[in-house]
Amino acid sequence: MTTSERPDRQERTARRRENTVDGIPPLARLFPLGLQHVLAMYAGAVAVPLIVGGALGYSASDLAFLISADLFVAGLATILQSVGFWRFGVRLPLMQGVTFAAVGPMIAIGKSEGITAVFGATIACGLFMILVAPFFSQLLRFFPPIVTGTVILIIGLSLMDVAAGWIVDNATDGAPPVNVAFAAGTLLFIVLVERFAPPALQRVSVLLGLVAGTVVALFVPGMVDWSGVADAAWFAVVTPFHFGLPTFPPAAVVSMVVVAIVIMTETTGDMIAVGEIVDKPVGRRQLADGLRADGLGTVVGGIFNTFPYTAFAQNVGLVSLTGVRSRYVATLAGGILVLLGLIPKVAAVVEGVPRAVLGGAGIALFGMVAASGIRTLSKVQFNNKNVLVVAISVGVALLPTVSPTIYDQFPDWFTLIFDSGISAGAISAILLNLLLNSDGIRRDHAGDAKIGAYDAVRGPAAAALVHPDAAGTTGAIDAVALRPDEEPDRR
């Protein structure tokens, strides 16, 4: 071996050591990698406070505060999940952000009981998640692909009403043509980025669409309102209970507990996926630790005037794309989010983005959510029973979307739960799946190690948690890909 070859080998060895879950890349690589994670999630992260605050009629300054609080707590929750302490945190490269699953219930709660009830229900949601985290593996059997896929599909479809509202922008006689033009242009730009841009830019196509649409809107008088940016401070602390002390109406709490179960199911899938990507399978204890961190982040969110938190799936895809396994990349990204949350001018700039541009990006963003649900449903064989589960659940969920006054004559506790299509659809999917599927399929396939497309009851995550071959680890076997003639690796 020559002298020149020896340093090259040492450098490759050092890079391999850095590229582990617990390795720390040099700052020159760590910062851009962390910033990339922030860019990939930013559009989705700020969408929820814009949706909820806009639906509740909040002022521009209050919307900016909600965005700052959201970014600040998202950073704290990400640091907690990636670094971890005691029994909180999965200690993997996961980014945390406000979940879309809570949007419908929160708007219903806010309109009926006020924003303090939203924050109270969020705190209750987080406490519930912390308490049930150790036992959640037993509940996973109620959330197979047919249920989770249906719920995710419902979330995306329900949010399309929000995108349409942004395009109409409070007009009483339909959307102005200029708004439709900006929405369509933003959407077209996103599609072109996805088609022609390098992979790194494709990951932030929605964010680039928002930027491009806003830049063009600057040349149209009255489209961009950044009057609040000059008044916003360069630095401010996010204060707890800014809108008042939380309240805890029972119906609001029940509605958010349903959301909590959906969040935990979603986070479980993300944790298992990222564990496989970084070659560090997630065991039951790690799963519980990660769910506790979700719960604690949600409790902190309710205290600091924001909403329930979950792992962002788009960042899981980014981990796979970049091949960078270090959890400290997510930690740095969390630090960037905290800093952004402490700079009100950033939130004021986001709040000033034209609603029509947001509408065009929202079509893509919410459509991606719906498409994710369809992708999950592709794991299910659609016999007549399964078609009925999806059909009825989606129909029940869309009733309050297409007819917002349908439950106006019902008691408040009923409307808080069922006025949100997401809660109603989730309850419907769970109950219908139990009624139409569970007994027969469990009896016929209870001993199968391989989970096939016919299985609408047990998903891969649930199988890995409860099957004896899993040896207590969700990543011990590939419950989908294992062929009947293969044996699981028990090393």
Query: In angstroms, rounded to a whole number, what is the distance separating the alpha carbons of residues 258 and 180?
Result: 36
How large is the average pLDDT for residues 342-360? 79
Of residues 363, 467, 72, the one with CA closest to residue 236: 72
Does residue 13 have a pLDDT over 90?
A: no
Amino acid at 321: L
Percent of the chain, pLDDT > 90? 12
Query: In angstroms, rounded to a whole number, what is the distance separating the alpha carbons of residues 255 and 335?
Result: 32
Phi, psi torsion values for 110, nearest 5 degrees: -60, -40
pLDDT tier at 321 (50, 70, 90 boundaries)?
low
Lowest-pLDDT range of 105-119, 201-215, 296-310, 438-452: 438-452
- Comparing 156 with 216, the larger pLDDT belongs to 216
Query: In angstroms, rounded to a whole number, what is the distance separating the alpha carbons of residues 234 and 345?
Result: 6
**CB-CB contact of 309 with 301 (8 Å):** yes
Does residue 15 have a pLDDT over 70?
A: no
**Two structure tokens written together for 239:** 């204060």
Of residues 357, 429, 339, the one with CA closest to residue 101: 429
**CB-CB contact of 347 with 65 (8 Å):** yes
Amino acid at 277: I
Tens of pLDDT, residues 207-228: 788 888 888 888 877 777 777 6
pLDDT tier at 153 (50, 70, 90 boundaries)?
confident
Tens of pLDDT, residues 68-125: 899 899 999 999 999 988 889 888 888 898 887 788 889 889 988 889 999 999 999 9
Tens of pLDDT, residues 231-289: 767 887 888 988 889 999 988 898 888 888 878 877 876 787 677 777 777 777 888 89
Query: In angstroms, rounded to a whole number, what is the distance separating the alpha carbons of residues 113 and 98?
Result: 21
Amino acid at 83: V
Query: In angstroms, rounded to a whole number, what is the distance separating the alpha carbons of residues 480 and 115?
Result: 43
Report which secondary-structure segment, H or E, holds 310. Answer: strand 309-311
3-state helix, strand, coil in the chain (%, to 5): 70, 0, 30
Burial class (CB in 10 A: 0-12, 13-18, 19+), 349: middle
**CB-CB contact of 400 with 187 (8 Å):** no
Question: Helix H segments across 419-454?
Answer: 421-433, 439-445
Identify the three-state secondary structure at position 88. Answer: strand
Query: In angstroms, rounded to a whole number, what is the distance separating the alpha carbons of residues 34 and 337?
Result: 10
**CB-CB contact of 429 with 146 (8 Å):** yes
Of residues 351, 365, 370, 383, the one with CA closest to residue 455: 383
Query: In angstroms, rounded to a whole number, what is the distance separating the alpha carbons of residues 383 and 385?
Result: 6
Does residue 406 have a pLDDT over 80?
A: yes
- Comparing 19 with 326, the larger pLDDT belongs to 326
Phi, psi torsion values for 378, nearest 5 degrees: -65, -15
Query: In angstroms, rounded to a whole number, what is the distance separating the alpha carbons of residues 88 and 241?
Result: 24
Average model confidence (pLDDT) across the chain: 77
Of residues 28, 21, 35, 16, the one with CA closest to residue 200: 35
Lowest-pLDDT range of 65-74, 197-206, 347-356, 439-448: 439-448
Which residue is it, tokens 């971890």?
84
Say what the pTM is: 0.69
Does residue 300 have a pLDDT over 90?
A: yes
